[in-house]
Structure 1
Amino acid sequence: MVTIIDDEAAARDWLRATFDPTPAAWAGLERFAAMLVAENARQNLIAASTIPTLWVRHIADSAQLLAFDRDGDGLWLDLGSGPGLPGLVVAILSERPLMLVESRKRRCEFLRAVAEDLDLHHVEVVEARLEAVETRSAATISARAFAPLDKLIDLSARFSTESTRWLLPKGRNAVKELALLPRPWQSLFHVEQSRTDAESRILVGAGRLGGRIVPKKRG
């Protein structure tokens, strides 16, 4: 049974136990958290109500995706990266090359500012809609609040290979969204419990997705 991380101290303890961050990585997480809160006063990056539980709702919530792919290597593609969740958290805790795709100019400016401030030279920020991004092979694809599952797959399938890892937080709708896909696509995924919300789930998949999906009708 997964133990739910339910307060800020527990989030920090879990991060230490799971990733054993170096002093530099830990300082990076602290700095990113501070920059996120400061920037949130200028543009709406996260809900203000989540700031008191930032380490649970955003830092640990993002880091848990890396925990599902600790042995992975190669390009990590983060779709609709927004404020860098999970992309910048993954970049701070690992040396994986990260490509953060975000179409909004001000959010891209923030992503670049954080990457420069923290010397995250393995982070590339791509300011474009995903449809306009040049195809390349991704070892891992993540997306947090990017699009409904069927649309997400349609847009990102061209980046996948036979060994691509899919890490898709889908909140309380994970099982419902997965059930809307044709059965061959459903079989590529399994559902994992979120460590930060007892009612949320994460879709974890592996493999190449190709061709346009015709989803089942929504009820």
Structure 2
Amino acid sequence: MDASAFQAATGVSRETLDALSAYEALLRKWQPKINLVGPSTMRELWSRHFLDSAQLHALLPEGARVLVDLGSGAGFPGLVLAILGVPEVHLIESDSRKAAFLREAAREAGVKVTVHNKRIEAVPAFPADVVSARALAPLKDLLAWAHPFIGDRGHGLFPKGQTVEDELTDSTPHWRFTAERFDSRTDSTGTILRVRGLDRA
């Protein structure tokens, strides 16, 4: 998949595609110095990372304005969702080099985000509509990190792989929540969990 195929798949505007293309160019420039994404996925950036992130946009709850992305790394999915129009996006990334990349990528893409260069636990909680995280940790841990931001009223959006059922089972002794499952557009074995009503068990 290239940029034009991504545009055909998502229907994004030319302006949005230009912003994503600027982000892609910077990622390719920084990747040899910092391992931002798995080297084997560089040939499939538009499908494995950009489309995989963009598919979450359609699953955002209506009226969502504030999104917190945990362990943002190279900015997937948080920076992509900011470029797609989420009004207020917070990217939490403890690695200083990756945090510097995120700031530069946001500048190149012409989008405003807040980068928190701290561990997740060190960021003072504030109300968010959505918490996202991709390829970061088991669901049980994600829920613990997300809860201070979304409480029982916000939503979590978490792409998961083949272990999703085991992760749900492991989480239920610790957390009460409702989980909706959506098939991934980019991984035939993948599932996106949309979690709400989160509370400690």
Q: TM-score, normalised by structure 2?
A: 0.92
Deviations 1:155-208 (A, max 9, x none): 22111134312100112211221122227846511221110010111111123x
AA aligned to 2:191 is: R
- Residues of 2 paired with 1:143 and 1:111: CA distance? 15
- Residues 174 and 202 of structure 1 are in contact (CA less than 8 Å); yes or no, is this contact kept in structure 2? no
More displaced stretch, 78-87 vs 149-158? 149-158
Aligned to 1:41: 32
Secondary structure, in 3 states, of the residue corresponding to 1:28? Answer: helix
Compared with structure 1, are the counterparts of its residues 22 and 203 closer, same or farther at alpha carbon in structure 2 (3 Å cutoff)?
Answer: same
- Residues of 2 paired with 1:60 and 1:145: CA distance? 15
- Residues 61 and 155 of structure 2 are in contact (CA less than 8 Å); yes or no, is this contact kept in structure 1? no
Aligned to 2:169: 179
Aligned to 2:7: 12
1:87 aligns with 2:78: yes
- Residues of 1 paired with 2:177 and 2:155: CA distance? 14
- Residues 189 and 203 of structure 1 are in contact (CA less than 8 Å); yes or no, is this contact kept in structure 2? yes
Equivalent position to 1:60, from 51, 69, 77: 51
1:114 aligns with 2:109: no
Equivalent position to 2:142, from 152, 177, 185: 152
**Moved segments of 4+, more than 6 Å:** none
Aligned to 2:121: 131
Secondary structure, in 3 states, of the residue corresponding to 1:180? Answer: helix
Larger strand proportion of the pair: 2
Identity level (%): 35
- Residues 68 and 90 of structure 2 are in contact (CA less than 8 Å); yes or no, is this contact kept in structure 1? yes
Deviations 1:40-75 (A, max 9, x none): 111101112111111100000000111111633221
- Residues of 1 paired with 2:151 and 2:114: CA distance? 20
1:101 aligns with 2:92: yes
5+ residue gaps, structure 1: 1-6, 214-219
Aligned to 2:196: 206
AA aligned to 1:137 is: P
- Residues of 2 paired with 1:38 and 1:157: CA distance? 36
The number of residues matched between the two structures is 200
- Residues of 2 paired with 1:65 and 1:104: CA distance? 24
More displaced stretch, 157-166 vs 84-93? 157-166
Q: Give RMSD over aligned pairs.
A: 1.9
5+ residue gaps, structure 2: none
- Residues of 2 paired with 1:183 and 1:210: CA distance? 11
